[in-house]
Structure 1
């Protein structure tokens, strides 16, 4: 069932941009206003939410569950270990809010063997 949901999600996302080529052309003045409204990247620290199982669990199973429940995650390999991260978030308050959402979804799904930790990502130089 999980594979079927993942296949459906991939197919739905693959068709999202079809037929928009002609309708998304912008005039130069509107392109300038869009670029002006994009905020500059934050110079301060960023925060991530690390999700891991207390028991050994396949990374694909956990990341698949997160995708099914609308949590976009990144799998990062550090020191030979895979880590599942949500984020980055601009402030610790944003990370805490997302952690509360995740904990509520985990409780609702009766998944008691998964924990989440807020970690600080060093500022890019």
Structure 2
């Protein structure tokens, strides 16, 4: 992302006829000092054991209704999750949305805290 910003700044300066190395260096310095804080997602919905037997059917039904499940493998154990979400409240809200959709009847989930990334 930073490279794109730097290249955009360089091209903008060059297009304006201002090819000064000083201005280019200031644009590079500004792009390096910008730090963006991205919220870390720590919560997800895990499909319960009973849902795993019919994972292809369940996945299709979830995707048809706007929920994209994924597989998280840690220490050889596969977990089928929906999310991730920044807060437990967001995960519970999505869990309620799933329960209220008639086409997703019978799909059960548990709200879990995700393990920290290595």
TM-score, length basis structure 2: 0.58
Q: Which one of 77, 102, 111 corresponds to residue 105 of structure 2?
A: 111
CA RMSD of superposed structures (Å)? 3.2
Q: Which residue of 2 aligns with 1:41?
A: 38
CA contact (8 A) 2:42 2:87 kept: yes
1:102 partner SS: helix
Q: What is the alpha-carbon distance in structure 2 between the residues aligned to residue 110 and residue 123 of structure 1?
A: 30
Matched, 1:54 2:50: yes
What are structure 2's unaligned runs of at least 5 residues? 1-7, 13-29
Shift of 1:67: 0.6
Greater Cα radius of gyration, structure 1 or 2: 2
Alignment of 1:5-16 (within 5 A): none
Q: What is the alpha-carbon distance in structure 1 between the residues aligned to residue 104 and residue 63 of structure 2?
A: 17
2:67 partner SS: coil
Q: What is the alpha-carbon distance in structure 2 between the residues aligned to residue 59 and residue 65 of structure 1?
A: 10
User: How many aligned residue pairs are there?
Assistant: 91
What are structure 1's unaligned runs of at least 5 residues? 1-26
Judging changes above 3 Å, is the alpha-carbon distance between structure 1 residues 63 and 39 closer, same or farther for their aligned structure 2 residues? farther
